[in-house]
Amino acid sequence: MRKVLSFSLLLMLGLVASQLLPGVLGEGYAAFKTGSDTLLYICLAFIMINVGREFEIDKSRWKSYTADYFIAMATAALPWLLIALYYVFVLLPSDLWSSPEAWKENLLLSRFAAPTSAGILFTMLAALSLKSSWIYRKIQVLAIFDDLDTILLMIPLQIMMIGMRWQLFAVLLVVIVLLTFGWRRLGHYDVRQDWKAVLGYAVVVFAATQAVYLVTKHLYGPEHSIHIEVLLPAFVTGMVMRHRHINTPAEQRASTGVSFLFMFLVGLSMPLVTGAPHPVESLAGGHSVTGSQPVMPWGIMLLHVVAVSALSNLGKLVPMFFYRDRRKSERLALSIGMFTRGEVGAGVIFIALGYNLGGPALIISALTLVLNLILTGGFVVWVKRLALRSAAPEEGPAAGSETAA
Half-sphere exposure of residue 221, counting CA atoms within 13 Å on the CB side? 2
- Please state, in angstroms and rounded to a whole number, the distance separating the CA atoms of residues 198 and 183: 20
Half-sphere exposure of residue 313, counting CA atoms within 13 Å on the CB side? 21
Q: Which CATH class is domain 2-401?
A: mainly alpha
Q: Nearest Cα to 110, choosing from 71, 150, 145, 140? A: 150
- Please state, in angstroms and rounded to a whole number, the distance separating the CA atoms of residues 300 and 239: 43
Q: Where are the chain's structural domains?
A: 2-401
Highest mean pLDDT (candidates 44-58, 224-238, 304-318): 304-318
3-class state of residue 189 by DSSP: strand
Cβ proximity of 189 and 240 under 8 Å: yes
Structure confidence at residue 201 (pLDDT): 95
Instruction: For CA atoms 78, 99, 157, 227, give the dihedral sign.
Output: negative
Which of 12-21, 52-61, 361-370 comes out lowest in average pLDDT?
Answer: 52-61
Cβ proximity of 288 and 356 under 8 Å: yes
Q: How far is CA 218 from CA 169, 171, 328, 336, in A?
A: 19, 18, 58, 48
pLDDT digits (tens, 9 = 90+) for 307-363: 999 999 999 999 888 888 888 888 888 888 888 777 677 778 877 777 778 788 888
Specify the DSSP element, H or E, that contains 42: helix 29-53
